[in-house]
Structure 1
Amino acid sequence: MTVASVGEIIWVLGIVAWYFIRRPYERRAKRVRVVSDRRSGSEKVGLAAALLGLAIVPGFYVATGIPETADYPAQPWAVALGALIFATAMWIFRRTHKELGRNWSISLEIRDKHELISRGPYALVRHPMYTSFLLMGLGQAFLLSNWVIGLAGLVGFAVLFFLRVDKEERMMLEIFGAQYRTYMARTKRIIPYLY
C-alpha cells in the first residue's frame, strides 16, 4: 500500500464520518417548523461549490486518479498531518451539530423557538461549522497528493463562506438584535482570536 493510497483511504473515511454525523440532524430538522427561510440562488451556488470541492471532485479523483498530471509524491508526514486536521474537523463538525440541536439547518432558516447558541465551539467562534469546512479543505490538501484536487476543498469552502456568511450574520442580527451584537463583539468568525 502506498502513502498516497493511505491518504485517499483516510479521506474516504472522513467523508463517510461527515455523512454519518450530518444525517440524523437532517432527518430531525425536517420535523421542526421553519418560521423564516432566507434561501437564495447565491446560497445554492455556495453549497454546490462546497459539495463539489470537498466531496464530488475529490471523490472522482480517488475513484479514477484523474487528473493524474497534477499528482506529486505523497509524504508520510503530510498524510499524518492531514489525518489529524481532518479528524479535528470532524470533531468540530459533530460538536456544532450537537450544540445546535433543533436549531440546525443546512440553509439560512430560522426554526420555531430558535435560540442563539453560544456554548461549546460557539463560545470561541460564531461559525464553527465553517471552521470545520475550512479544516476539511486543509486536511484534504495534505491527504490527497494532487495539486488540483488538494486545493479544490479550500476553493469550495471559500466560495460557500464568502457567498453566505454576511447574509447569515445579517439574519441573526435581525432575529436576535443586541444579543447577537454582544456575541459578535466577544467572538471571531471562524478562527479563534484571529478572524
Structure 2
Amino acid sequence: MSISTALAAKIVWLLGIVAWYVIRYPFERRAKRVRVVTDRRSLLDRVGLVSAVLGMAVLPAIYVFTGFPDTADYPARWWAVVLGAAIVVAGLWTFRRSHKELGRNWSITLEIRDEHRLISSGPYALVRHPMYTSFFLIALGQLFLLPNWFAGPIGLVGFAVLFFVRVAKEERMMLETFGPQYTTYMGRTKRLIPYIY
C-alpha cells in the first residue's frame, strides 16, 4: 500500500508538532523552579502567544484531522514535502539549541529570572532571537507541508503576530537589564535571520 503525498505531508507536520512539545516540556518544568525577578507579561503578549498557537498548531491540526477547509486544497507535491520536512527539522534543531543555551534563563513570556545572564553563544552568537527563528522555520515548513491555501500559510501569520508584538518589548527589557552589554551584543547580531535581519 502506498501512502499519498498529502497524507505523508500531514504525518510529517504532526511529527514536527509532537517533537516541538517533547523538546519544550523538560525546559518548561525546570523553568518553574527558578524565581522570576522581572515580569513584563501583558495582554498584548498573550495575544501574540495565542496567535502563534492558533496559527502553528490549532488551525493546522483542524485541517490535518478533518480536512477543513478542503475547498482551499491544492495538489501536494513530493518535493514540497521533502523541503518542508527539511525546514521543520532545521527549525526543531534551532529550537532545541536555543533552549539548551538559555538553560535556566528560559521563559515562555517576557521575564527575567534570578541570576539571569546574557547568552551570546550557540545560535545566540548569530541572532538575538533564535527561538523566534525556530518558530519562523517551523511555520515556513508548514507552508510547504500542508497543501491548503489556509492551513499552510496561517502559521506564518501567527508567527508574525507573535514576533512583531513581542520582539521590541523583549529587547527593551534586555537593554534595561544588561545595558551596554546588550547594546554591544545588538551591534554584532541580527534579530532573526543571520547576516540579514
TM-score for both structures, normalised by structure 1: 1.00
Residue of structure 1 equivalent to 2:57: 55
Output the CA distance in 2 between the equivalents of 1:30 and 1:131. Answer: 24
1:76-114 CA-partner distances (Å, limit 9, x unpaired): 000000000000000000000000000000000000000
Output the CA distance in 1 between the equivalents of 2:19 and 2:164. Answer: 25
Aligned with residue 102 of structure 2, among 89, 100, 103: 100
Residue of structure 2 equivalent to 1:116: 118
Identity of aligned residues (%): 69
Answering whether residue 148 of structure 2 is matched by residue 146 of structure 1, we say yes
Aligned with residue 90 of structure 1, among 89, 92, 96: 92
Residue of structure 2 equivalent to 1:14: 16
Answering whether residue 146 of structure 2 is matched by residue 125 of structure 1, we say no
Structure 1 counterpart of 2:177, which letter?
Answer: I
Residue of structure 1 equivalent to 2:81: 79
Aligned with residue 30 of structure 2, among 28, 31, 34: 28
Output the CA distance in 2 between the equivalents of 1:4 and 1:136. Answer: 18
Shift of 1:65: 0.2
TM-score for both structures, normalised by structure 2: 0.99
Residue of structure 1 equivalent to 2:158: 156
Shift of 1:128: 0.3
Shift of 1:40: 0.5
Aligned-CA RMSD value: 0.3
Shift of 1:22: 0.2
Unaligned residue ranges in structure 2 (runs of 5+): none
Structure 1 stretches of 4+ with a deviation exceeding 4 A read none
Residue of structure 1 equivalent to 2:168: 166
